[in-house]
Amino acid sequence: MSKLKDILINKKICKSIWFMRQAGRYLPEFRKIRLQNQNFVNLCLNSELSSELTLQPIKRFNLDSAIIFSDILMVPYALGQRVDFIKDFGPKLDKFNFKVFTETNKDSFTQKLQPVYDAINKTRNKLNKEKSLIAFIGAPWTLLVYMLDLKSNKNEIDYKKIKFKTEEINLILNKLYEYLAIHIENQINAGADVVQIFDSWAGLIRPEDFINYCIVPNTKLVNFCKNKNIPVICFPKGIGKNYKKFNEMVKPDGINIDYEVNPNWVKTNLKHVVIQGGLNPEILLNSEEEIISNTKKYLDVFKDLPYVFNLGHGLLPSTDPDKVEKLIKFYRNY
């Protein structure tokens, strides 16, 4: 059993380290391949290259887990919505078409994502057995934000952009759940052994919708994983004190904390769950001393608990890989 899986299932008091966005923009070896592959979706659908990209940070840093090189937006893509990644801007999706979305069938969905599953299979064959291969999905709400283009320039939800009735939104969220469950199962069958659910925009949900748009869909996905014995980590970013409610209601095996929650508060309030993450990725842009002292803060707080070292969000593109290496060295010697 991989170490990460062992920690999540048996709540073993040992430590493990990996980074969100460890395979990507800050690595020169990634940028070299990216330069030759301008279309990001096609890069994710190139199983040979996406497997290679998944393994780049493992080769460089010998991290404990690999996360498959793909994107949460491959699901809307497989549901018939065009997805483009624009340089220096980010993802841009074609206008959502309700009819196309509801008419997609499960076979064509799996067929479109087959290269992702092939990449997982290839990676598992090359990856040391002790290391986890992490599959991931975006939570329904976070996907909805991209699919309906709900964010304003100020990083807030622009409710005027929601052209659907509540019942229709619920229908879309339920349909997304069904496809996400298939995507989880396919990734596990291909060789992944842990799933992480990214609800990156959970913090933008207004309080009256929090249960319906965050708790309910995440609970359904966690229950799906539990029924299949798949260890699952949730990352409901930006929800503040609601982390406690989330943990008590959703009951995932692991929970990634963001950098806005205080680790001591987390230790007192989040029980019966493996804590992962926390360190602000911007800290890695600072001096080595600052990186070490902030890393130490998290390791000290969680030293008597099962804890997976990670960040409070993904590594930033401007991160110096040498500083990542220094952090890992400190962690290993701790």
CA–CA distance, 68 with 168 (Å, rounded to integer): 32
Residue 71 designated active-site: yes
Judged by CB under 6 A, the stretch of 83-91, 118-126, 250-258, 322-330 that binds ligand 1CP is 83-91
Quick one: residue 66, left, alpha or beta (phi over 0 = left, psi -120 to 50 = alpha)?
Answer: beta
Handedness of CA 64, 67, 68, 69 (dihedral sign): negative
User: Applying CB under 6 A, does 22 fall inside the site for ligand 1CP?
Assistant: yes
Residue 25 designated active-site: yes
User: Applying CB under 6 A, does 91 fall inside the site for ligand 1CP?
Assistant: yes
| Two structure tokens written together for 227 | 């029924």
User: Applying CB under 6 A, does 17 fall inside the site for ligand 1CP?
Assistant: no
4 vs 23, beta carbon nearer ligand 1CP: 23
Judged by CB under 6 A, the stretch of 21-29, 177-185, 246-254, 297-305 that binds ligand 1CP is 21-29
Angle between helices 166-190 and 216-227 (to 10 degrees): 30
SS (HEC) of 289-302: HHHHHHHHHHHHHC
Judged by CB under 6 A, the stretch of 7-15, 23-31, 121-129, 182-190 that binds ligand 1CP is 23-31
User: Applying CB under 6 A, does 33 fall inside the site for ligand 1CP?
Assistant: no
87 vs 163, beta carbon nearer ligand 1CP: 87
Residue 34 designated active-site: yes
Query: How many residues bind to ligand 1CP according to rule CB under 6 A?
Result: 21
Judged by CB under 6 A, the stretch of 5-13, 18-26, 178-186, 272-280 that binds ligand 1CP is 18-26
SS3 of residue 95 by DSSP? coil
| Two structure tokens written together for 18 | 């990996």
Question: 113 exposed, middle or buried (CB, 10 Å; 0-12, 13-18, 19+)?
Answer: buried
CA–CA distance, 318 with 59 (Å, rounded to integer): 20
From candidates 6, 12, 29, 34, binder to ligand 1CP by CB under 6 A: 34
Handedness of CA 138, 202, 320, 4 (dihedral sign): negative
CB of 186 to ligand 1CP, least distance (A): 16
User: Applying CB under 6 A, does 90 fall inside the site for ligand 1CP?
Assistant: yes
State the amino acid at position 191 in one-letter form: G
Q: Which of residues 185-224 bind ligand 1CP (CB under 6 A)?
A: 198, 200
CA–CA distance, 44 with 283 (Å, rounded to integer): 29
Identify the active-site residue in 26, 77, 117, 146: 146
Point out which residues bind ligand 1CP (CB under 6 A). 20-25, 34, 40, 67, 69-73, 85, 90-91, 136, 198, 200, 314
Active-site positions read: 21, 25, 34, 71, 146
